Each structure stands twice: as structure tokens, then as C-alpha cells.
């Protein structure tokens, strides 16, 4: 079996999301952008929402050049009014909301719990946990009112299932995202709205590529797969969970980590 990582965006069925509108937060780059592209190439109308409004606009223009129907909107997930406005923008622009990917998040400084800066802790939790709650708080009523079901994927992390020294805020927030997902999944499954979460492991990013070789090699050694992940690989899992192929999957949490948490 090939272990070559997926780096392209070639949907198995380019019409599987046709007629549906998707909102992706944190979509200006990384996993968010890869997911927006994957859904758009699958036929969805995609709204790219990001705190970096210019980055979201540029990403949307790039996707349009690839044949995707896309629009961009500014979003601060720490502000409920901003989240509500982004959801309303999706509805007003494309006529509804069928799919949502709550991906926006930040890392935060590294320090032991007993020395962690309180302001940093508050900012990380407000963005990574409260932001997911606010997103679902406004996405779910729109989907429910439309009466045609829907699907939401919350982007947690492998650190939603294990600890990581020096990251108390991030770990606490991502564990919270998993709990929110399970709760909302149970509440809305009978209404035809599926809520699930994914837990990406360490993904290749420009920041990681700037690590010195020794640190990078040490990180690789923690992965039985022998490499780090790619944004497109996470996007494929998200796309599956949003698709009708995952019709009986709700309230669950799925890792994509090269077996990092298995050892």
C-alpha cells in the first residue's frame, strides 16, 4: 500500500456537494483553505471566513480561478455578533447554510500551567473553544429552521485526546471542543444535522519547515507514519464527514495523526 501523502485536490465525485452552501472559518490558509477548496471542487458554494479579511478575499479569488463558487467575509470568532454576521452573510449570499467547518484557532505561548499567562490563556480559550460554541450557536438554528438537515465539523486536535506539556490553554480548549461536539451531536442527530470533530496531528506548515533539523527530526520520530501530515489529508476527512457517505456518523471525534496518539 502506498504511503505517499495526498497533496492534490481531486474529489471522487465533483458533484457530491452540489446545491449546498458551506461556511469555513479560519479559511485564509492551511487546513481551512484546503477544506474550502475541497468542498468547492465538490460543487459547494463556499464562504471563506477569517480574521484576516484580505487573506480570505485573496483565497476566495484564487478558488474562483479554479472554478469554485466562493465569497469571503471578515470574522472574529471571539465576538458573537461577528459570528452571527458571518452566518447571515452565507445565507444572504448563497441562500442558506448546509455545511459548516469550525476551524479558526490559535496556538498560544508555551509555559507550564503554574506559570501560564492568564491573558494568553483567556485569549486561547476564547478563540479555540468559545469561538466554536459561538459558531454552532448561530449555525445550528439556521440549519434547523431550513428543515433539510446539515452537517458540521469542528476542528479540534490530537490535543483534544492527550495532554501536551506547556500548552494548558490549547489542550483545555481542544478537549472542550470534543465535549461540545459530542453534546451537539446528540442533541441534533434526530433533526438530521450531524455534528462531528476531527483531531489533526502535526501538519506540515511554513512554521514547522523553519524548525532546525534536529527539532524537526525529533518531531518526526514521534510519528509511526514517519512523516507529518498535510492540510489536504485533513480536508479529505472533513469532506467525508460532511458528505452523505457519513450519514450515520454523528457526535464523534476522528483523529488524523499518523498514529501519533497510538503509541
Q: Which domains does the chain have, with CATH numbers?
A: 21-262 (3.40.50.720)
Measured CA to CA in angstroms, residue 138 lies from 83, 132, 135 at distances of: 7, 10, 6
Query: Within 10 Å of residue 85's Cβ, how many Cβ atoms?
Result: 18
Please check whether residue 45 is in contact with residue 22, taking contact to mean a CB–CB distance below 8 angstroms: yes
Active-site residue, selected from the candidate residues 138, 170, 253, 260:
170
Element (H, E) at 73: strand 69-74
170 is catalytic: yes
State the Cα–Cα distance between residues 11 and 37, nearest whole angstrom: 10
Across the chain, which has 263 residues, the per-10-residue mean pLDDT values are 48 83 97 97 98 98 97 98 98 98 94 98 98 98 98 97 96 98 98 98 77 84 93 97 97 97 93
pTM check: above 0.85: yes
Bridge partners (DSSP) listed for residue 203: 229
Please check whether residue 134 is in contact with residue 177, taking contact to mean a CB–CB distance below 8 angstroms: no
pLDDT at 196: 98
State the Cα–Cα distance between residues 218 and 179, nearest whole angstrom: 31
pLDDT at 205: 75
pLDDT at 1: 34
Please check whether residue 101 is in contact with residue 22, taking contact to mean a CB–CB distance below 8 angstroms: yes
Please tell me whether residue 16 adopts helix, strand or coil conformation.
coil
pLDDT at 212: 81
What are the backbone dihedrals phi and psi of residue 176, each rounded to the nearest 5 degrees, phi first?
Answer: -65, -35
pLDDT at 209: 67
State the Cα–Cα distance between residues 231 and 216, nearest whole angstrom: 18
State the Cα–Cα distance between residues 255 and 197, nearest whole angstrom: 9
Amino acid at each position: 500500500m502506498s504511503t505517499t501523502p495526498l497533496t492534490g485536490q481531486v474529489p471522487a465525485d465533483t458533484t457530491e456537494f452540489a446545491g449546498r452552501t458551506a461556511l469555513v472559518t479560519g479559511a485564509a490558509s492551511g487546513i481551512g483553505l484546503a477544506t474550502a477548496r475541497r468542498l468547492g471542487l465538490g460543487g459547494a458554494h463556499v464562504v471563506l471566513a477569517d480574521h484576516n479579511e484580505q487573506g480570505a478575499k485573496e483565497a476566495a479569488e484564487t478558488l474562483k480561478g479554479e472554478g469554485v463558487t466562493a465569497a469571503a467575509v471578515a470574522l472574529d470568532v471571539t465576538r458573537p455578533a461577528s459570528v452571527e454576521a458571518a452566518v447571515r452573510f452565507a445565507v444572504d449570499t448563497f441562500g442558506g447554510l448546509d455545511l459548516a467547518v469550525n476551524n479558526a484557532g490559535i496556538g498560544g505561548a508555551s509555559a507550564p500551567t503554574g506559570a501560564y499567562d492568564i491573558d494568553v490563556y483567556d485569549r486561547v480559550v476564547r478563540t479555540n473553544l468559545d469561538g466554536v460554541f459561538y459558531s454552532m450557536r448561530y449555525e445550528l438554528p439556521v440549519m434547523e429552521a431550513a428543515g433539510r438537515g446539515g452537517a458540521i465539523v469542528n476542528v479540534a486536535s490530537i490535543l483534544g485526546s492527550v495532554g501536551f506539556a506547556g500548552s494548558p490553554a490549547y489542550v483545555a480548549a481542544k478537549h472542550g471542543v470534543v465535549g461540545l461536539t459530542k453534546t451537539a451531536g446528540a442533541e441534533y442527530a434526530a433533526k438530521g444535522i450531524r455534528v462531528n470533530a476531527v483531531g489533526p496531528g502535526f501538519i506540515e506548515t511554513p512554521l514547522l519547515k523553519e524548525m532546525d533539523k534536529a527539532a524537526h527530526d525529533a518531531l518526526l520520530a514521534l510519528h509511526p507514519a514517519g512523516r507529518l501530515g498535510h492540510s489536504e489529508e485533513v480536508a479529505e476527512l472533513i469532506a467525508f464527514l460532511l458528505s452523505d457517505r457519513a450519514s450515520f456518523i454523528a457526535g464523534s471525534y476522528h483523529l488524523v495523526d499518523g498514529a501519533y496518539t497510538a503509541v
